[in-house]
Structure 1
Amino acid sequence: MLYACGEVGDENFCLSDATCTALQLANFWQDVRVDYAKGRVYIPQDDMRRFGVSDETIAQGIATPEFRKLMRHEVDSARSLFEQGLPLIGRVNRDLAVDLDLFSRGGLEILRAIERRDYDVLSARPAISKSTKLALALRALCGKVLPFLRLHPRSA
């Protein structure tokens, strides 16, 4: 996206990489159960070992205390990446900034949904409510006109 919008630069690339990685991780953590059913496990094996979680734990679909601690760690790591990438919003043109703001807010909402489930992503898929989706969409629409609505590092 940076290339298409003429916003290329080393710092922008690093900030974009943090945001894109965070978005992918949020999707992975939201879909642990779905992905496992398809034969995919994206949780780092080193982290699984460190927290005492095995593929069998995931297969059983029970969010053990160890699994919840693992997911808390993964969610915290993803949130940290979102926070690292937030300065990009203030460095690019308004249209791209609004899109980045929407993607970041959406990803952060996914992480909050996981937290609200006490990190249990095995018994059901965490989701964003329709009202939250509507609020995100309206904010993005207003952000096209009102730049002060953009997400900033301290308001994440």
Structure 2
Amino acid sequence: MLSYEAIQSFVFQEARALDERRWADWLEFYAEDVEFWMPAWDEDDTLTNNPQNEVSLIYYASRSGLEDRIFRIETERSSATIPDTRHGKSISNLEVLSQDENSVKLRFNWITNSFRYDILDTYFGYSEYTLDTSGPKPVIKKKYVVLKNDYIHHVLDIYHI
């Protein structure tokens, strides 16, 4: 079983790899069969609950989707990253929701500041992770992200969340 400090370190290291644009390192935090999902808000101000038949802001059913996203960022085939976007994330209120010998479920709040087109945008929300801890190092099996912004001025990408 992982200590709270080890879980916190894992979350901080993943965020730092993303903020530092160490894309290959960032991908190593994810299991091959990870589900990465950021649902959208519907007209009733509730989150969509099925990425298969409702709108999502981001949805990848496996790590290959994340790998494709990174490929587009690295090869300048991403309108979300041209011109280059500077960003930094702060994490707070990390809670361990449950833990057993093979997994950890956790939740935390985040705020990301992003600078693009001479404009500073702030994105905020929370994330819930399920970590697989059965191997030599933890990996993210499920990443569920709730963006709480009402308006998004620029194209949103994985590093904003």
TM class, shorter-length:
under 0.3
TM-score (norm 1): 0.25
| Greater helix proportion | 1
Larger proportion of strand: 2
- TM-score, normalising length: structure 2: 0.24
- If you compute each CA radius of gyration, which structure gives the higher value, 1 or 2? 1
